[in-house]
Chain A
Amino acid sequence: MEVVSGGVSLQQYLILSSVLFSIGVYGVLARRNAVMILMSVELMLNAVSINFVAFAVYTAPTLFIGIIFAIFVITVAAAEVGLALAIILRVFRNRGTANVDEISTLKW
């Protein structure tokens, strides 16, 4: 494994990923369509993956657990998207809407 000059410092990747994560949080809280919320969750997952990989190649290169973990994050994200979209489809078929603030039967 060769060590090269990154050209960009670790902090810049961390800033990028934290901005991306914050945008995802805004999307989850501000959107009302369930599919849009799912898309914002994808943004947050990607921000976390950037963080894992950046830390792995910059600070713990012999273990590279971060890279392995990013692979698992992508796998679980794929599973999550498939399941969540099936649930949204089911809810849409039963209730005629995919807006989360209209699906309030369980709300006290």
Chain B
Amino acid sequence: MTQFFFDIMAVIVIGGALGVVLVRNIVYAALFLIMSLMGVAGVYILLSVEFLALVQVLIYGGAVTVLILFALMLTRVKDLKENLDSDQRPLAAVAALALLGAFAAMFNQTDWPRDIDQLTVVPFETIGTALFSRWAVPFEVASGVLLVALVGAIVLAMEERGEG
């Protein structure tokens, strides 16, 4: 049963990702990105980490894709028919396939550490407790990073008035 759902999620994730990199219309690519990222949320549920699945839906499905669609809207050029791919496409395909081959070789040569059909369910509250006790300092630093990045984004994107 899990295998069945895993196959569905894998098809959604990989299909969406292929849509992002191959499709001609840039808005469709953004919508394919949503599909792929929601598939990743499903993968998190299969891994029984529901917290991350929720975070994934909220942040990627809600915030990031809306931001990307806004950027697409604001940077749109007149003709949507322009070529989205650069000339190095075949080279890019070769590089990606070479990377995939390297990963496959790595899987074959690795001795896997223990019985890897068993997964441990980490409960919600354990993650929360750890995040606010052992990982409290990194957590605060991450919030600082977000704050600085968002203020910086506003400053960068702001219209300059009266300066040239």
Residues of A at the B interface (CB closer than 8 Å) are 1-16, 18-33, 35-36, 38-40, 42-43, 46, 49-50, 53-54, 56-59, 61, 64, 67-68, 70-72, 74-83, 85-90, 92, 96-98, 100-101
Contacts and interface: CB of A to CB of B under 8 A. Distances in A.
Contacts of A39: 20, 29-30, 33, 68
A78 B95 contact: no
Contacts of A61: 119-120, 122
Contacts of B152: 83, 86
A5 B121 CA distance: 10
B30 A10 contact: no
Query: Which of under 10, 10 to 19, 20 to 34, or 35 or more describes the interface residues of B?
Result: 35 or more
A53 B52 contact: yes
Contacts of B99: 21-22, 25
Contacts, number: 251
Interface string B30-56: 100100110010011011110110011
A4 B48 CA distance: 10
Prevailing SS type, chain A contact patch: helix
A11 B26 contact: no
Contacts of B114: 59
B14 A58 contact: no
Interface in B34-91: 36-37, 40, 43-44, 46-49, 51-52, 55-56, 59-60, 63-64, 67-68, 70-72, 74-75, 77, 83-86, 88-89, 91
